[in-house]
Structure 1
Amino acid sequence: MTETDSNVYDVVVLGAGPVGENVADRTRAAGLSTAVVESELVGGECSYWACMPSKALLRPVIAQSDARHLPGLAEAVQGPLDTARVLARRNEVTKDWHDDGQVSWLDGIGADLYRGHGRLAGDRTVEVTGPDGTRKVLTARHAVAVCTGSRAVVPDLPGIDQVKPWTSREATSAQAAPGRLVVVGGGVVATEMATAWQALGSRVTLLVRGKGLLNRMEPFVGEMVAQSLTEAGADVRTGTAVTSVTREDGTVVVVTDQGERIEADEILFATGRAPRSDDIGLDTIGLEPGSWLETDDSLRVRDSEWLYAVGDINHRVLLTHQGKYQARIAGAAIAARAFGSAEPDTGAWGAHAATADHGAVPQVVFTDPEAAAVGLSLAEAEQAGHRVRAVDYDISWIAGAYLYGEDYRGQARMVVDLEREILLGVTFVGPGVSELIHSATVAVVGQVPISRLWHAVPSYPTISEVWLRLLETFRDS
């Protein structure tokens, strides 16, 4: 029998990714003692296998593309990217998959870190099994926050284990570019990784089951990204599903429902996410192992007084920045309930309510061109029953866009609620548009009236002048 220790804290956090870190930061700032349990690296998926390494791979790709469209600079950057140096820089960004710096940060806020696998073991109790088999029992006076995130889903195809396919983890941490790469999927991971590896020397074939790419955004976004990938040399095939995949003498052989046979060196499945809740002891408190955890807007699990689920695990929005937003809300709500000085403000836009999860979520896709959106698309707004109008503008007509080069391609759309004359959603696609999205987020979250947006004057000559042109188009249509 291994040794068992017991420790009591105000709050126990399962998972030390960005979400868990932010819950711990907020509860510690409020004066609550906090323990954090992590089985892998402190900093989580985002720091080592998602946001940061993927953008480290993509930044040179986008910078080179921008340069190649600018006369005077284009001639100086005609050669291929230095793939080895790009990968080395990616390794620097991930600190070579060492988490010393983030461990120091946790120490700095006064949270106690427990390395090992954490499982719920009944009411307000977490059992941690360390790497050496030692068990520690942690008890939470006020709250346990589950911040274990999600994992990539690989389809259940015969022999898939022998193929050893890539998921997002392998795609962002690979130390060499495969000569031929098949990417299965049409969402953010698929399009970003297809963009990166095509530019870093792989011959990419992108297989998309649906009609187009990035189907949660406005249709013109996926169309423009697909066109750019094709021009870069990728083979983009829509309406195509994988029926079998094998590895023969080191070569991946993919067969599609069109009867096509495709050979590659590696295959990446970017086909969705599942909750990391299979083995965290949900059964000990009457919940289903492997399930998403439903919460209220304070991120407290339904029908529980002490269990919180924050970030991907609650399936509200699977984005790091939105998970960190939820963490700030959850930390404040936990503290308010712990001290009991006042009932938490869980009304719409209250201090303890994650209201922005409902229809005001921003996202950037770092493809070439970039895509950025916040709020509802036209189809989503119409489906929700709003009386709306889509207002479109070609960003290439903006003086600031012309400075990027004569062949700038981009599109903007705002979805206007005609009853209240506010914005329900905004979408941009084109070089440099990622820096536009926060202004759109402020307009959507703040429900700023169109009449007031006229007084938010964009600087000239910047791409942000598209705001003025959208307003003029709305006025004149």
Structure 2
Amino acid sequence: MRARTHVATTHTTHQTDPMTETTESETIAYDVVVLGAGPVGENVADRTRAAGLTTAIVESELVGGECSYWACMPSKALLRPVIAQADARRLPGLAAAARAPLDTPAVLERRDNFTSHWQDDGQVDWVEGIGADLYRGHGRLAGPRTVTVTVSDGSVTTLTARHAVVVCTGTRAQLPDLPGLAEVRPWTSREATSADSAPGRLLVVGGGVVATEMAAAWGALGSRVTLLVRGKGLLSRMEPFAGELVAEALTEAGVDVRTGVSVASVTREDGTVVALTRTGERFEADEILFATGRIPGTDDIGLDTVGLEPGSWLEVDDTLRVTGTDWLYAAGDVNHRALLTHQGKYQARIAGAAIGARAAGTPLLDGPWGPHAATADHEAVPQVVFTDPEAAAVGLSLAEAEEAGHRVRAVDVEFSSVAGAALYGDGYKGRARMVVDLEDEILRGVTFVGPGVGELIHSATIAVAGHVPISRLWHVVPSYPTLSEVWLRLLEAYRDN
């Protein structure tokens, strides 16, 4: 089974060590050098160019990064038909037609279109359009404010930065240290989002976002999926009911969800993957996906040349500047604040603005909610899990709020009390929770679970980030009959109890 993890010839990752013999090096000076041309690096470059700073951006694979080719875009392209079909099955008049299997080749073709068939010409044009210079090759720090770019023929270009180097190299899948794993050739998130056909049987190891989304996608596209979860349930970073409702729906859709299962070893026998658990259970499949975490893409970018630990997460302040430096920044996954594309792009905008202000010698407004401070990283991080039902959350869960020392109260309502939910589809099932700070009567967190709730989360994000008091929320009138009427039900439940 082929998975499109390759990179076109002109985009090959170059792992040549710049310390080995090379051709003569060229040195070019910029105001800012960005390592990594994914969405985060692109946004840093956009903001520093807008500030009038000359900017170089270095990429070893495809411009556009993980999100464009192996994560957000292909995974959601796979899931959108799955969710649309599930919605149609809830509606008399469509239900019968929606029982037909999905046209898997058509779904995969649409997925391929969203990844531009793993070609990055359009994104390269965008980088050139903002006036940034793109360098293809392996970028590596070579001391303060210095980056070397090595290409396949061994030639090296040295870039120096007058003001800042920004690390935006993201993360990669973490694989467990299991006997036999290398020989099995397991899937990671890359293979799961780029495979060119559905495996007959798929084992998914993990209980987080990637595991649940890919179980939902490939289960609907024709695979017989078994989900092996080490913990007690799914989506452990959300409110408990989120994982419970998603697990229930996956089971109803035909996914075999097993919790409390820990894989001890894997082998491939005559083409069949065999996974043995610590209790001796045996599971067989055609492919196995490990969705068991991420590690920072910092192991070979020269951190040791500036006194930092290779392979480490980079600790930053709220301007995204790396602790202990005055020139090195880290935005996106590499700082481990929130491994989400939209949050990384937010950080990139903050970092670019802060670099521009420091370069110009203008006042740095880095207090809470200032233009040079990534305050939302601490208080208002939103996320949507695109399963059926969707799970969406922002801010703190009840447990997190209590652990942080807030005096809070959780308010829960079922979507069965919302007219818009009944209209959305027969048998609509979902739940909403808001976590209210009883001292200030503001929201510390909000969670929605149910079909279509991903489009509700921005309203919750505004309420949490804006510290909108309950008294003001009563004047935010939801349109009838929409899913957003759940806000009125939540406020009523808070008032009446």
Normalising by structure 2, we get a TM-score of 0.95
Matches within 5 A, 1:47-446: 47-342=68-363, 344-446=364-466
CA distance in 1, matches of 2:109, 2:387: 21
Contact 2:366 2:372 (8 Å CA) reproduced: yes
Deviation of residue 3 (structure 1)? 2.7
Listed one character per residue, the Cα deviations across residues 380-425 of structure 1 (whole Å, up to 9, x for unaligned) are: 1111111111000101221100112220000000000001000000
- AA of the residue aligned to 1:6: T
DSSP-derived class of the 1:465 partner: helix
State the SS of the aligned residue for 1:74: coil
Q: Deviations over 1:194-245 (max 9, x none)?
A: 0000000000000000000001101111000000010111100000100010
Aligned with residue 32 of structure 1, among 46, 50, 53: 53
CA distance in 2, matches of 1:359, 1:267: 36
1:388 partner letter = V
Q: Secondary structure at the match of 2:370?
A: coil
Secondary structure of the 1:304 match is coil
Note the aligned Cα RMSD (angstroms). 0.6
User: 3-state SS of the aligned residue for 2:491?
Assistant: helix
Letter in 1 for 2:428: Y
2:67 to 41, 46, 59: 46
1:5-46 residue CA offsets vs partner (Å, 9 max, x unmatched): 110000000000000000000000010000000000000000
Letter in 1 for 2:477: V
Partner of 1:451: 471
Match among 39, 49, 58 for residue 18 of structure 1:
39
What are the Cα deviations for residues 256-295 of structure 1, in whole angstroms up to 9, with x where unaligned? 1221101100000000000000100001011100000000
CA contact (8 A) 2:60 2:136 kept: yes
Asked if the contact 2:187–2:289 (Cα under 8 Å) also holds between the matched residues in 1, the reply is yes
Q: Give the AA of the match of 2:186.
A: P
User: How many angstroms does 1:167 deviate by?
Assistant: 0.3
Counterpart of 1:475 in structure 2 is 495
Task: Measure how far apart 1:359 and its partner are.
Answer: 2.4
Q: Which amino acid aligns with 1:442?
A: I
Alignment check: 8 A CA contact 1:177 1:202 kept: yes
CA distance in 1, matches of 2:255, 2:152: 43
Tell me how far apart the structure 1 counterparts of residues 399 and 308 of structure 2 sit (CA, whole Å).
Answer: 35
- Alignment check: 8 A CA contact 1:115 1:131 kept: no
CA distance in 2, matches of 1:223, 1:321: 26
Contact 1:205 1:235 in 2 (8 A): yes
2-structure distance, mates of 1:415, 1:250: 49
Q: Tell me the secondary structure at the aligned position of residue 421 of structure 2.
A: helix
2:426 and 2:179 map into 1 onto residues whose CA distance is: 50
> What is the identity percentage for the equivalent residue pairs of Structure 1 and Structure 2?
78
SS of residue paired to 1:158 = coil
State the distance in 1 between where 2:446 and 2:439 align: 17
Distance across 1 between alignment mates of 2:346 and 2:227: 33
Amino acid of the residue matched to residue 64 of structure 1? Q
The answer for unaligned runs of 5 or more in structure 2 is: 1-21
| Distance in 2 between residues matched to 1:274 and 1:193, nearest whole Å | 20
- Please, what TM-score do these two structures have when normalized by structure 1? 0.99
Distance in 2 (alpha carbons) for counterparts of 1:341 and 1:58: 46
- AA of the residue aligned to 1:316: R
CA distance in 2, matches of 1:447, 1:431: 27
1:252 partner SS = strand
Q: Hey, which bits of structure 1, 4+ residues long, moved more than 4 A?
A: none
Q: For 1:68 and 1:84, locate their aligned partners in 2 and report how far apart those are by CA, in whole Å.
A: 21
Aligned to 2:30: 9
Pair 1:464-2:468 in alignment: no
CA–CA distance in 1 between the matches of 2:376 and 2:180? 42
What are the superposed Cα offsets for residues 269-325 of structure 1, whole Å, 9 maximum, x if unpaired? 000000000100001011100000000000000010000000000011100000000
Alignment check: 8 A CA contact 2:417 2:489 kept = no
2-structure distance, mates of 1:70, 1:29: 49
Q: Work out whether residues 298 and 311 of structure 2, in 8 Å CA contact, stay in contact via their aligned partners in 1.
A: yes
Q: Partner letter of residue 159 of structure 2?
A: L
Query: SS where residue 99 of structure 2 aligns?
Result: coil
Query: Structure 2: how far apart are the matches of 1:403 and 1:357?
Result: 36
CA distance in 2, matches of 1:306, 1:292: 17
Q: What SS does the aligned partner of 1:438 have?
A: helix
Q: Which runs of 5+ in 1 are unaligned?
A: none
Structure 1 residue 437, shift from structure 2 partner: 0.1
Query: 2: distance between equivalents of 1:170 and 1:275?
Result: 19
* Paired letter, 1:25: D
**Match of 2:244, as an amino acid?**
E
Distance in 2, Cα, partners of 1:220 & 1:12: 44
